[in-house]
Structure formats: structure tokens, C-alpha cells
Copies of this chain bind each other. A is one copy, B any other.
Amino acid sequence: MRDEDWATATAILRLASELVEGIQSGLAERGYDDVRPAHGFAFVRLSAVPATTAQLAEYLGITKQATSELVHHLIARGYLARRPDPSDRRAQLLVLTDRGRACTRAAEQAAAETVDSWRNRLSTEQFAELQSALHAIARPGRLRPAW
């Protein structure tokens, strides 16, 4: 039973690793070779609702300073833009540019390709059961770098 649990744990780690590598190489193939996994988590947060640097830092679980540098990088590369925050003259809202949205879509496509390869390793019923089980146990909330 314990051995089974460890095998399950390592399977999750292997799949996560395979997924991240698939997204990274898929992005590179599509011309996005200047984004890191951490940037993807920022895109996920910002594609839902614009956020300030401080809110993004809270979401990513890193300091404002590190987030500030990450944001500078993404703005310099054309993935993000600043907009004034109407309710706070100190703050600036971060929004995805067209390029940022295109990169996000490319990442989702690359992820879907990896998931597709998983689908092909199982029967249709098995894959459907896997999907529903994963969705049932995965906790909602922040999607952050694992370590």
C-alpha cells in the first residue's frame, strides 16, 4: 500500500515534468523562446483579471521585488503592458498584450499536445476516469511553480 502510494507520487512528478518540458519545447518551436515556466503562471493570473505587481507577487508566492523584475522582463519583451489604475495613482495594472495572449494560447496548445499523448496511452473510458479523478482531487486556487 505504501509502495503503491510512492509509485503514484512519482507518477505525478514524472507527468508534471513531462508536461512542463512539453510546454517549454512547444513554446520554443512556436517562437517563444524567452519565457520561463514562472512567466506562464503570471500569464495565467493576468489572463483572467488584470492585477498590480503586488497582487501578482502574492499570487506567485515570491516577493514584490522579484515580481517587479519579472514584470520588467515581460514588458521589455512585449508580453505585458501597464495601464494606470483608476483607483490608485501609485499602482499600475498589468495586462497581457496581443503577443502575451498569443503566447498564452500557444502554451495551452502545447499543453494539450502533451495531454493528448497521455490520452493515446489509455482507453477512452480510462482517460475520462482519469480526467474526472484529477479534477476532483486538484485543489483550486493559485497555480504556482512547484519548487
A interface residues with partner B (beta carbon < 8 Å): 2, 4-21, 24, 36-37, 44, 108-109, 111-112, 114-116, 118, 121-122, 126-127, 129-139, 143-147
Contact = CB atoms under 8 A, between A and B. Distances in A.
Contact of A5 (B36, B112, B132): B112
A131 B2 contact: no
A15 B145 CA distance: 11
Number of copies of chain A assembled together: 2
A97 to B, nearest CB: 21
Nearest to A23: B9
A141 to B, nearest CB: 8
A137 B4 contact: no
Contacts of A7: 131, 135
A115 B5 contact: yes
B114 A146 contact: no
Q: Which of A21, A118, A133, A135 has the most CB of B within 10 A?
A: A133
A138 B15 contact: yes
B5 A143 contact: no
Contact of A121 (B111, B116, B136): B136
Contacts of A118: 8, 137
